[in-house]
């Protein structure tokens, strides 16, 4: 097995096709890298002596020292010659940003096969071609999306995407939701390093606690299923596949040349413990759900809301996803009613869903703590729908109660468009937050499925 450590933590890095022209990718990539990366950087351009304040070299073989990682940003007709230089210079990894290979048809595939064979002859491993590269915040490298780098920006989510668009948007949307990444990679045509290689590496890196994949095909589908069946026993994995329809397959073939690769069935993925997403939004929702450090032990669900409509929407979603909404015991209802007395209107409901209608003007955090504690005695997880007020005190209360009970708590703000900062803070504090009760319940269903997989319960078993 090839270690990918020097791909995501290179001691030295080169950009072949580095440019002074801000309109070119070679300028953009070099500029992004130099702003965060602390290792040796070598621009490669035979027509320039200096680019962005860095000494430029005519070729890789003329650059000083060993090079761990090379970004290749030159036209496809020149890539093979650059790969020959990589092999000759002992470069460990190369990211081929350039498009124009297998996705164009037989001639492009022949060129792609040639660059892979040449790279392997010198021990160089390839990411791409036709890709955006990597995001490695701890190493200070980002050539994918608008996200900061540095140790403070690093998190525990890893992502692999064949589409630059999917990878960019998962990163941006997840970041806005409060998630942070350990590593991300846009692999394009996955001519050499594949989903399977990334899965193996991320599962073992010690920093990653959940992994997402956007796939247009798996090079070694059987291997992926065997490997992921073990990985998901400790690390949740979310997969979103495109190309399942005839039209979609035609598009993925022209996008990443993946028309001949394996698409794995939903049933096979689920049987291996994988959470299957069917959209960009679901991918981000499910990764958000796995921010919870605990999984539900069963399907008994409580809804604590400040609005009857949210109770109805959440109840419908609970039924759709196979949750029980048990009526709380009389003793717990009596406790909740006593808490309501003098604070809530007479039509507040203590049964489950528990509808407070509103919350007291004072002592709000303690009020919610007592409500949640009472309800969690009799259920396995709880969805809270409330109207903001996510102070440090409130977040400390939720995380403390979650840790004491070992039961997931998720939040769906009553006005999500006005609570974006609060939602991000909730998720960063490992209380997953969602834009609606329905999406919250769907994410809980995903993490319940993982819990059941780890307990040996077959998918679909009630």
| 61, 83 contact by CB (below 8 A) | no
Q: Which residue has the higher pLDDT, 308 or 31?
A: 31
> How far is the C-alpha of 92 from the C-alpha of 140, rounded, in Å?
19
Mean pLDDT, residues 237-242: 95
- 54, two tokens: 């860095």
> How far is the C-alpha of 163 from the C-alpha of 255, rounded, in Å?
8
Mean pLDDT, residues 367-375: 95
The fold of the 1-129 domain, in CATH, is Rossmann fold (3.40.50)
Nearest to 66 by CA among 113, 132, 28, 122: 122
Tell whether the model's pLDDT for residue 66 goes beyond 60. Answer: yes
What residue spans of 303-436 are helical by DSSP H? 308-320, 330-340, 364-376, 392-405, 420-428
> How far is the C-alpha of 426 from the C-alpha of 395, rounded, in Å?
7
Q: What is the pLDDT of residues 418-432, one digit of tens each?
A: 899 999 999 999 999
The CATH architecture that domain 301-454 belongs to is: 3-Layer(aba) Sandwich (3.40)
> How far is the C-alpha of 136 from the C-alpha of 208, rounded, in Å?
12
Q: Which residue has the higher pLDDT, 193 or 418?
A: 193
377's enclosing H/E stretch is none
Lowest mean pLDDT across 56-65, 177-186, 330-339, 451-460: 451-460
Same fold, 131-290 and 301-454: yes
Q: What is the pLDDT of residues 194-221, one digit of tens each?
A: 999 999 999 999 999 999 999 999 999 9
pLDDT, position 242? 86
Residue 57 carries which DSSP code? B
Mean pLDDT, residues 353-359: 84
Q: What length does the chain have?
A: 462
> How far is the C-alpha of 103 from the C-alpha of 89, rounded, in Å?
28
pLDDT, position 429? 97
Tell whether the model's pLDDT for residue 30 goes beyond 60. Answer: yes
Per DSSP bridges, beta strands 181-186 and 133-136 are antiparallel
Top-tier CATH class for 131-290? alpha beta
pLDDT, position 306? 87
Domains of the chain, residue spans: 1-129, 131-290, 301-454
Q: Give the pLDDT band of residue 370 (cuts 50, 70, 90).
A: very high
- Beta bridge partners, 256, equal none
> How far is the C-alpha of 74 from the C-alpha of 16, rounded, in Å?
7
Whether pTM exceeds 0.75: yes
> How far is the C-alpha of 414 from the C-alpha of 435, rounded, in Å?
8
Per DSSP bridges, beta strands 12-16 and 54-55 are unpaired
Lowest mean pLDDT across 228-242, 353-367, 368-382, 429-443: 353-367
Per DSSP bridges, beta strands 69-72 and 12-16 are parallel
């Amino acid at each position: 097995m090839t270690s990918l450590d020097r791909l995501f933590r290179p001691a030295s890095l080169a950009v072949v096709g580095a440019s002074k022209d801000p309109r070119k990718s070679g300028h953009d990539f070099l500029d992004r890298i130099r702003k965060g990366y602390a290792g040796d950087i070598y621009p490669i351009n035979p027509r320039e002596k200096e680019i962005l304040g860095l000494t430029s070299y005519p070729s890789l073989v003329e650059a000083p020292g060993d090079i761990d990682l090379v970004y290749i940003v030159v036209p496809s007709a020149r890539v093979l010659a650059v790969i020959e230089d990589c092999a000759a210079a002992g470069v460990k990894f190369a990211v081929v940003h350039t498009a124009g290979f297998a996705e164009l048809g037989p001639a492009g595939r022949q060129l792609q096969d040639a660059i892979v064979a040449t790279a392997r002859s010198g021990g160089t491993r390839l990411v791409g071609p036709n890709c955006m590269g990597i995001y490695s915040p701890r190493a200070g490298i980002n050539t994918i999306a608008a996200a900061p780098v540095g140790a403070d920006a690093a998190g525990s989510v890893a992502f692999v995407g064949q589409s630059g668009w999917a990878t960019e948007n998962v990163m941006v949307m997840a970041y806005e939701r409060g998630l942070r990444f350990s590593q991300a990679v846009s692999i394009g045509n996955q001519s050499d390093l594949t989903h399977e290689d990334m899965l193996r590496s991320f599962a073992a890196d010690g920093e990653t606690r959940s992994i997402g994949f956007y796939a247009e095909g798996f090079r070694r589908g059987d291997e992926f299923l065997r490997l992921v069946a073990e990985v998901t026993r400790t690390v949740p994995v979310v997969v979103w596949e495109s190309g399942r329809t005839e039209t979609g397959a035609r598009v993925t073939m022209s996008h990443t040349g993946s028309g001949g690769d394996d698409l794995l069935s939903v049933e096979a993925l689920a049987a291996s413990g994988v959470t299957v997403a069917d959209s960009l939004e679901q991918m981000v929702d499910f990764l958000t759900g796995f921010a919870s450090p605990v999984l539900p032990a069963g399907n008994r669900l409580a809804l604590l809301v400040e609005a009857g409509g949210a109770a109805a929407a959440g109840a419908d979603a609970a039924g759709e996803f196979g949750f029980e909404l048990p009526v709380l015991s009389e003793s717990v209802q009596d406790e909740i009613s006593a808490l309501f007395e003098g604070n809530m209107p007479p039509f507040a409901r203590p049964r489950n869903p528990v509808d407070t209608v509103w919350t007291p003007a004072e002592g709000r955090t303690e009020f919610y703590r007592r409500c949640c504690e009472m309800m969690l005695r009799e259920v396995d997880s709880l969805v809270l729908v409330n109207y903001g007020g996510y102070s440090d005190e409130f977040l400390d209360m939720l995380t403390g109660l979650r840790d004491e009970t070992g039961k997931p708590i998720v939040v769906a703000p009553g006005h999500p468009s006005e609570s974006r900062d609060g939602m991000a803070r909730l998720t960063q504090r490992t209380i997953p937050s969602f834009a609606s009760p329905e999406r919250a319940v769907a994410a809980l269903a995903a993490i319940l499925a993982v819990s059941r997989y780890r307990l040996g319960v077959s998918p679909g078993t009630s």
